[in-house]
Amino acid sequence: MKRVGLYTAALGFMAFAGFPFYWMLITAFKQNRDLYVGAFDTKHVPWIFNDPPTLEHVRLLFEQTQFLRWVGNTLIVVVAVIIITVAVAVPAGYSLARLTGRWGERLGMGIFFTYLIPPTLLFIPFSRVISFLGLQDSLGALILIYPTITIPFCTWLVMGFLRSVPWDIEEQAMIDGYSRLAVIVRVVPRLIVPGILTVVVFTFTLVMQEFVYALTFISSVDHMTVSLGVPIALVRGDVYHWGSLMAAALFVSIPLAIVYNLFMDRFIQGFTMGAVKG
Amino acid sequence: MPFRRRHRRQAQAVSLHRRRTLADREDVLGVAMLAPALAYVILLVGVPFVLAIILSFSTASAGSLTFGWAGFANYAAILADPIFLRSLGNTAIVTIGSQVLVVVLATAAAQVFRAAFHGKRTARFVLLLPWAVPVSLAAIAWTWIFDSTFSVINWTLKVSGLLHGWLYWLGEPGLALFAIIVVQAWRIFPFATIIVLAGLASLPQDVMEAAIVDGAGFWRRLFHVELPLLLPVVAVAVLFGVVYTATDLGVVYILTGGGPANTTQVLPTLAFQRGIQGSDLGQGAAIAVFLLPFLIVVAIAMLRLARHTEVGAR
């Protein structure tokens, strides 16, 4: 009896969480005459395929829209932001965890708090900074601004990650005659590969998801990223191509969902550090 | 700690046999490695943050780079503006409403997902979907779900006999706000669930066992033992949820665009409409500044929480 309740509750949560994705899936592959039947027609069941599925919307998405171009733009921004974030946040996290002593912890907390300053507070001053730098409507604006979100969080992640890395190996290297700098350059990178991987994944997901800055800085369809282009530019005039729109949403969501599942526990450690202590 | 320090001293003693150079000075290395991150945060978060506040007292517009001092004119203008007051209220309603839903859903879901059952991995994967998908894409999917003609919700309600008229989800202010709250809660509760689960896993086992030995049933254990112990963790989830909801632009922008007739505007969408689309940077900045009280409350609560739990853990 208890098991039945458990499974019912689990199914209920799955239904609520997964429903929009089921809806993306079914919309993306339905024929138009099956799709656009008003909900007042109670005889036509919208939850299932009443006609055979079609690839028409997917074809339209790939052949007649800028979708692939947006994917390309997103990848360019992803790679650039990852490089900047790793180069800046990983050394900073190491420094705060190992080199700066007592005030490192406080400073780390301070840096993490800047993560709470939201894009919606900063987009107005940034619009001025971006036009001052002449970066309006270019991917450069996104590459410059996105690290303001990734660096604070990733510095914090790396700092937390290093707490779980024993000090012995670095110490041994110093006893063996390495200078402190040589330890950092030659020994440390190998120790923190998993931490760096988490930084890369977090940055990837963040860039894929960001909407506010992209909406503010990017105006031409050619320069859009997927999270901006799909909801904003796939609407032609007043006509929504719901099939293609949902196909695009689905194709972007699936890889992100898989990545999230693999790295979830690491992210959560970053968020709950302090509140949950072993 | 003393163990670690002793070895460190030994290591330094060994390096003393070589000539000690700049490459051995931890303070110098520490500052050098931290400098780029600090520079980034100060120049591109700190300075713009101050600039946001300065702009809110200015006559700045998007066209020109110079601007004049406006004093409190922008604030006076928005405080006299019913649309602004409504958006301030909406921000509070959406934030509080969605977080109440999140707390209920997340603590319930955590109770389910701590148990072992078949297909748990799949269930977890589905549960996490809302948090993984980009906000803007989730919002466009919900826009389609709430469509005025094709809404599957209306169809289902009608067929099950619960609805006789018609619901224009995004066309009526009350329903539209309700839809926004549901989408925000949907988007954030998986994240909250995972945080609560992490909290459950770290609960002291002896307390739970003592409660069981004392004969406390499931509900009693839940409300009198677990939830009080979980409070700091739930608070963390709520605090992040407040920041994510109060400062979110995407859901409202895509779902309703602030409509019908500006009745569902929230602070971020109104700041965007006035500041970016309307080119009145000064007023846009003044509107966005009203997000600060939400953030300050959250920041203070987090600091207190961090200190509180640190004391408790030792």
Confirm whether B30 is domain-assigned: no
- Model confidence at B314: pLDDT above 60: no
Helix, strand or coil, per DSSP, at residue A240:
strand
Q: Do B272 and A119 touch (CB under 8 A)?
A: no
> pLDDT band at A277, cuts 50/70/90?
very low
Position A10 in a domain: no
Distance CA A129, CA A117 (A): 17
Instruction: Work out the end-to-end distance of chain B between its first and last CA atoms, rounded to an integer number of angstroms.
Output: 15
Q: Output the pLDDT for position B295.
A: 86
Please count the helices (runs of H) and the strands (runs of E) in chain A.
15, 2
Q: How many independent structural domains does chain A possess?
A: 1
- Does a structural domain hold residue B87? yes
- Here the ipTM equals 0.89
Range of the domain at A173: 60-272
Check B195 against A271: CB less than 8 A apart. yes
In this structure, of B166-170, B198-202, B307-311, the range with the lowest mean pLDDT score is B307-311
Q: pTM to 2 decimals?
A: 0.89
Q: Is residue B63 part of a domain?
A: no
Q: Rounded to an integer, what distance in angstroms lies between the CA atom of residue B5 and that of residue A171?
A: 10
Residue B179 tokens, joined: 């839809």
**A236 DSSP 8-state letter:** E
- CA angle, corner A139, sides to A136 and A142, nearest 5? 85
Check CB contact under 8 Å for A13 and B240.
no
Mean pLDDT along residues B115-128: 88
Which pLDDT band holds residue B13 (cuts at 50, 70, 90)?
Answer: low
Q: What is the DSSP letter of A239?
A: E
Residue B61 lies in a domain: no
Predicted pLDDT at B63: 66
Where residue B312 falls among pLDDT bands split at 50, 70, 90? very low
Contact with chain B for residue A191, Cβ under 8 A: no
In a domain, A34, yes or no: no
Name the residue with tokens 């107005």.
A124
Tally of structural domains, chain B: 1
* For residues B40-49, average pLDDT: 92
Best residue in A61, A121, A253 for a mutation probing chain B (most B CBs within 10 Å) = A121
- Residues in chain B with CB shorter than 8 Å from the CB of A119 are 247, 249
pLDDT tens readout for residues B61-81: 876 667 788 888 999 999 999
Residue B125 is nearest to which of A13, A249, A261, comparing CB atoms?
A261
**Average pLDDT, integer, range B161-181:** 91
Query: Residue A44 falls within a domain, yes or no?
Result: no
**Cis-peptide, bond into residue B260, ω within 30° of zero:** yes
Q: Are A62 and B180 in contact (CB under 8 A)?
A: no
Name every residue whose Cβ is closer than 8 Å to that of residue A98 and which is 6 or more positions away in sequence.
A162, A167, A170
d(CA B175, CA B151): 13
In this predicted structure, the answer to whether residue B253 has a pLDDT above a threshold of 90 is yes
% of chain A at pLDDT higher than 70 = 94
> Is residue B269's pLDDT more than 90?
yes
Which residue, among A153, A166, A161, has the nearest Cα to A115 in the 3D structure?
Answer: A153
Q: Could you tell me which of B286, B273, B281, B244 has the C-alpha nearest to residue B94? A: B244
**Is there a domain that residue B21 lies in?**
no
A7-46: pLDDT as tens digits: 999 999 999 999 999 999 999 999 988 888 888 888 888 8
For A219, the 3-state DSSP assignment is: coil
What count of residues does chain B have?
314
Chain A CB contacts of B65 under 8 Å are 128, 131-132
Q: Where in the sequence is the domain holding B167, given as residue range(s)?
A: 77-313
A275 touching B, CB under 8 A? Answer: yes
CATH number at residue A139: 1.10.3720.10
B23 falls within a domain: no
Q: Is A79 helix (H, G, I), strand (E, B) or coil?
A: helix
* Segment B201-217 mean pLDDT: 81
Phi/psi of residue B20, nearest 5 degrees: -75, 125
| CATH code of residue B232 | 1.10.3720.10
Nearest to B128 by CA among B109, B141, B103, B114: B109
A120–B contact, CB cutoff 8 A: yes
B282 occurs within a structural domain = yes
Cβ atoms within 10 A of the Cβ of A187, count?
Answer: 16
The confidence score (pLDDT) of residue B29 equals: 87
Q: Is B58 helix (H, G, I), strand (E, B) or coil?
A: strand
Report helix, strand or coil for A276: coil
